[in-house]
Amino acid sequence: MTNSIEPITCCDQWVQHSQGRIFTRRWALAESRPEANPIVLLHDSLGCVELWRDLPGALSQATGREVIAYDRLGFGRSDARDGLPALGFIADEAREILPLVCEQLGVDGFVVFGHSVGGGMAIHCAAEMPDRCEALVTLSAQTFLEKQTLDGVRAARDYFRAPEQIQRLAKYHGEKARWVLDAWTESWLHPDFEDWSLVDVLSRVRCPILAIHGENDEYGSTRHAELIAQHGGGPVRIEILSGVGHMPQREDPPAVLKMVAELLQ
pLDDT digits (tens, 9 = 90+) for 80-108: 998 999 999 999 999 999 999 999 999 99
Neighbours of 108 (CB within 10 A): 10
Q: What is the CA radius of gyration of the chain?
A: 17
* Sheet (strand 20-29) strand order: 8-17, 20-29, 67-70, 39-42, 110-115, 133-139, 209-214, 236-241
Q: How far is CA 195 from CA 126, 137, 143, in A?
A: 22, 24, 11
For residue 37, pLDDT over 90 is answered with yes
Mean pLDDT of the chain: 95
Whether the Cβ atoms of residue 230 and residue 209 lie closer than 8 Å to each other = no
Mean pLDDT of 111-128: 98
Whether the Cβ atoms of residue 113 and residue 65 lie closer than 8 Å to each other = no
The DSSP-derived string for 102-115 is: HHHHT--SEEEEEE
Q: Check residue 7 and give its pLDDT.
A: 76
Domain residue limits, the chain: 8-146+197-264
For residue 225, pLDDT over 60 is answered with yes
For residue 58, pLDDT over 50 is answered with yes
Q: Check residue 2 and give its pLDDT.
A: 42
**First CA to last CA across the chain, in angstroms?**
7
Q: Specify the pTM.
A: 0.95
User: How far is residue 44's CA from residue 118's CA, in Å, rounded to a whole number?
Assistant: 5
Is CATH 3.60.15.10 the classification given to domain 8-146+197-264?
no
Q: Which one, of 135, 2, 137, 134, lies nearest residue 62 by Cα? A: 2
User: How far is residue 201's CA from residue 107's CA, in Å, rounded to a whole number?
Assistant: 23
User: How far is residue 114's CA from residue 63's CA, in Å, rounded to a whole number?
Assistant: 17
The H-assigned helical ranges of 129-195 are 147-159, 163-173, 177-188
